Structure 1
Amino acid sequence: MEKPNILLVTFPSQGHINPGLQFAKRLTRLGVKVTFATSISAHRRMTKNAPTTESLISYAPFSDGYDEGFKSGIDDLGHFMTSMTHFGSQNLKAIILEKINQGSPFTSIVYSILIPWVGKLAREFRIPATHLWNQPATLFDIYYDYFRGYGDIITDHISDPSYVVNLPHLPPLATRDLPSFFSPSNQYSFALTFFKEQFDILDEETNPKVLVNTFDALEAEALSAVGKYNLVGVGPLIPSAFLDGKDPSDTSFGGDLFKGSKDYIEWLNTKPEASVIYVSFGSISVLSRTQMEEMARALLDTGRPFLWVIREGGVEGQEKEKDKLSCKEELEKQGMIVPWCTQVEVLSHPSVGCFVTHCGWNSTSESLASGVPVVACPQWTDQTTNAKLIADVWKTGVRLIRNEEGIAKAPEMKRCLEVAMESEELRRNAKKWKDLAREAAKEGGSSHKNIKEFVDEVNGKVDLHQ
């Protein structure tokens, strides 16, 4: 029988491509052919920085109308999303039709968040489609409740910092713990429209399966909170070498949109165990100049070695961000500043003692799978909820407190750094989740079983079409 061929489509940003590619690798290990589709601009940068060698993964980049890429601070994000829906639908449709005409149609489609139009396209072609939710299950539940009866309560109280929202099956959430898309000052209200569309698509199916980048032990209640959907944990979706060890050659996501060097690993090798503070704010978040100065001062005040990722703006002739810091020379004596790195490799290094993070979900799940305590510095989207889970539910980190201007001052940052580096309780909890994450991913573990079950279902669907 012909192997099932799954079309896996992701939104073209690092936080979506990474888990998507890892899921593709998991599927190929179970004998499934995967065609990975994202925008032309993202694919171009992926292959330039890390050419893939996965023989069972093929690529089908499509134009989203922004073939030179979305330029943050220059392009309008709302226009980009509209363009992606229009041109993405058009061009992905052509890819699907081409496969049908070749006599080897896609047997199933998997698609990530923010691209509900892929689900509509699958329905148009009567191809079974499954949603890959690349955020925690808790966020899925919050958005579900928002669109199904709790929207007014949240909207009416979102500006009151003392208000606590009680949603079904979830811990009490202060307004600061909710996704930033609910805030009246949020400029990205279109995101809620995309999430609502996604739930509307799911509601047209009977007990639809949703694949979630989490694992059963981590979010047991959240995974079963919405009875009408079958949420299954398939995570953490990070490279095998740092998780189940089944494929020691799988040491990177294979989809980096940014260039980095490897000097930092040699530098980490010279440092004592659990002595280094690792600082990174992901592929999108940008710290204000004031916040960077406070961060720099806090790092210097700890006297500890640090590895700090400061992305370069990418504008030709622009002064590098690190060169604008007033204490640059002091910083480079005490630590190392790099423009990008393979994060999961850094977090798995024995010399790393804590992780200062924006709490994007990939960074959060990588910290859990690596057993590294966290200083949580959330900025927007799901990061605020992830920070709540880190500090109060999983208890693997400390969340910093900002002043009225939204700045975390150096003394507060230093306090959090010392707690994360010294707390035995945080380290114990971090190790517990690391062990449970590996347990879930290994053969016979909950996530491995859930992925295998999904593949069996896809195979069953193939049989039906023979």
Structure 2
Amino acid sequence: MANHEERHHFLLVVYGLQSHINPGRVLAHRLTRLGVDGSVLVTLAVPVATYRSMFPSKQDGVGDVSMTTNGVVSYVPYSDGVDDGSMPMNADDRAHRRRASSKSLSAIIARLADRGQPATCIMCTMAFLPVIDVAREHNIPVTIYWIQPATLLAMNYHYFHGYSKLITLHANDPAHKVSLPWLGRPLQISNFPSYLIDMSGSEMTKNINESSQELFEYMDQWRPKVLVNTFDELEANVLMKMKQHLDVFTIGPMVFAIGPMVRSSMETQIHLFNHNIIDKKRYMKWLQAHPDNSVVYVSFGGLSKYTKHQMDEIVGGLKQCGRPYLLVVRQDGLEDDESHRLDNTQSHGMIVDWCDQLEVLSHLAVGCFVSHCGWNSTIEAVVSGIPIIGVPNMFDQPTNTYLVEEVWEVGVKVERNSDGVLTGTELARCIELIMGEGAKAKAIRERAKALKEIAKQAANTGGSAERNLRDFFKTIQTHDKFCMNNTMSHQ
């Protein structure tokens, strides 16, 4: 067992969203492998509401009393003062939650220290300001875990370093092109993340942008390490230039498995949405009955909402293309009245309210992925070699779709009509463009397969993801030794 001086303890703080939790868990497990004989500890801190969903038996859990472990990674809940899983309503609410989260995380750090397991580094996914507050209070180094592409990190960086007026000036002109440093080519306004061009004054946009601005101000002053869920070959040009200005370590692809679905019990994904394992057996048996590369897989993530009209168009387009399809749509993802339910007994397809996405994407029967292009979904498609039809809605999704279509050329983006609706005819056209026998379809499929092999090399033992994470760890060790020697020299 490693002694106290040799032990490193990472406190990784994540938002209570599916898109943050699973990348956080992958990083947590990979960090523990960097040490030997228990020298690296990782505690994953999640909001109270999320903790209760992950561990239903811990219903009385609050940030300063409860902890759960799987024998490798520990889990602890922190309180935002509301603990109902909701988003802040206004500036006062944001301030209240920040104070409550900071207080709760500070109590967790004190408790870990009392146990003889003091946190030596605190991490956060994206811009979580209470982590910065607590790190300053306890004099603990901070690492930013950027769970979106490096391209988006560059766009955010430049927005908060002199380009905000230029971007917002043209926010209502989707076709207008803006040139940003590091990116190599101009970007249309429509390629920017929604929160940077949202002029509606929505509370969510204010929350994201104000938090991001403070994060980048902190980064300018203290230059923390930044771990990015991408790999060098995927965004080579932007990374090469970015590393001259930020201490970036590419540690992706951060998925639980690549290729054959062999997972340990500790590395299965956590699904916050309740699901029935019987459904999994049913859709996997259904996939098994179809030829290779024949099934259209459709899923738009856990946050997307769709009207009955939009969903009818999607189902109509899937029927029109005449190919077998697996459609994932949660009933609470339908905006219309509760009496509307989709018929899951389609003649050419199957409709389910949940699936194990990585396992589905890895199935030989799947030929393309109709996706909202959240980053986790995009990366999972890349490592599975599946072409993508992008249907972006918000946040980073427009940028990810731009990368899929124009940079990597492993998919296409749908075009909505003047009312913002994806028509069935357009969806069917894109499916045929990807799964047909035309020259473009074949080229897209070949590039998807090639990118899969590159992703596998990055993720394999000894690959760039492991090497870069170890390089990051060495810098943390060097920092700790410097601080320890500096402290002793002044005693």
TM-score normalised by L of structure 1: 0.91
Matched, 1:295 2:314: yes
2:435 equivalent in structure 1: 421
State the Cα deviation string for residues 30-70 of structure 1 (Å, max 9, x = none): 23211000101112212349xx9741200111112232322
Alignment of 1:45-444 (within 5 A): 45-48=53-56, 54-70=70-86, 76=89, 81-170=94-183, 171-181=185-195, 182-185=197-200, 187=202, 188-206=205-223, 208-226=224-242, 227-240=244-257, 242=258, 248-249=263-264, 253-260=268-275, 261=277, 262=280, 263-313=282-332, 319=338, 323=341, 325=342, 328=343, 332-422=346-436, 423-444=441-462
Say which structure, 1 or 2, has more relative contact order (CA 8 Å, 6+ apart). 1
Q: CA, structure 1 residues 248+161, in 2 after alignment: closer, same or farther (shift >3 Å)?
A: closer
CA distance in 1, matches of 2:52, 2:474: 33
Deviation at 1:76, TM superposition (A): 3.6
Which residue identity is paired with 1:275?
S
CA distance in 1, matches of 2:372, 2:422: 13
CA distance in 2, matches of 1:244, 1:410: 33
1:38 equivalent in structure 2: 46
Q: CA, structure 1 residues 384+79, in 2 after alignment: closer, same or farther (shift >3 Å)?
A: farther
Stretch deviating more after TM superposition (223-232 or 9-18): 223-232
CA distance in 1, matches of 2:69, 2:351: 30
Which residue identity is paired with 2:380?
E
In the alignment, is the contact (CA less than 8 A) between 2:249 and 2:472 conserved in 1? no
In the alignment, is the contact (CA less than 8 A) between 2:16 and 2:85 conserved in 1? no
In the alignment, is the contact (CA less than 8 A) between 1:279 and 1:307 conserved in 2? yes
Structure 1: gaps (5+ residues)? none
CA distance in 2, matches of 1:64, 1:341: 30
CA distance in 1, matches of 2:316, 2:266: 33
1:22 equivalent in structure 2: 26
Which residue identity is paired with 1:116?
L
Which has the higher Rg, Structure 1 or Structure 2? 2
In the alignment, is the contact (CA less than 8 A) between 2:148 and 2:229 conserved in 1? yes
In the alignment, is the contact (CA less than 8 A) between 1:224 and 1:231 conserved in 2? no
Find 1:458's aligned residue among 476, 479, 484: 476
Q: CA, structure 1 residues 395+145, in 2 after alignment: closer, same or farther (shift >3 Å)?
A: same
Stretch deviating more after TM superposition (456-465 or 352-361): 456-465
CA distance in 2, matches of 1:219, 1:200: 25
Find 1:447's aligned residue among 452, 465, 476: 465
Which residue identity is paired with 1:393?
V
Which residue identity is paired with 1:30?
L
CA distance in 2, matches of 1:335, 1:244: 24
| 2:331 aligned counterpart, secondary structure | coil
Q: CA, structure 1 residues 244+210, in 2 after alignment: closer, same or farther (shift >3 Å)?
A: farther
In the alignment, is the contact (CA less than 8 A) between 2:26 and 2:267 conserved in 1? no
CA distance in 2, matches of 1:116, 1:39: 14
Percent identity reads 39
CA distance in 1, matches of 2:303, 2:442: 32
In the alignment, is the contact (CA less than 8 A) between 2:69 and 2:75 conserved in 1? no
Q: CA, structure 1 residues 94+314, in 2 after alignment: closer, same or farther (shift >3 Å)?
A: farther
Q: CA, structure 1 residues 265+244, in 2 after alignment: closer, same or farther (shift >3 Å)?
A: closer
| 2:227 aligned counterpart, secondary structure | strand
CA distance in 2, matches of 1:8, 1:428: 38
1:6 equivalent in structure 2: 10
Structure 2: gaps (5+ residues)? 58-67, 486-491
TM-score normalised by L of structure 2: 0.86
Deviation at 1:13, TM superposition (A): 0.4
Which residue identity is paired with 2:249?
V
State the Cα deviation string for residues 348-368 of structure 1 (Å, max 9, x = none): 111111111101111111111
Deviation at 1:461, TM superposition (A): 4.2
Across the aligned residues of Structure 1 and Structure 2, the Cα RMSD in angstroms comes to 2.4
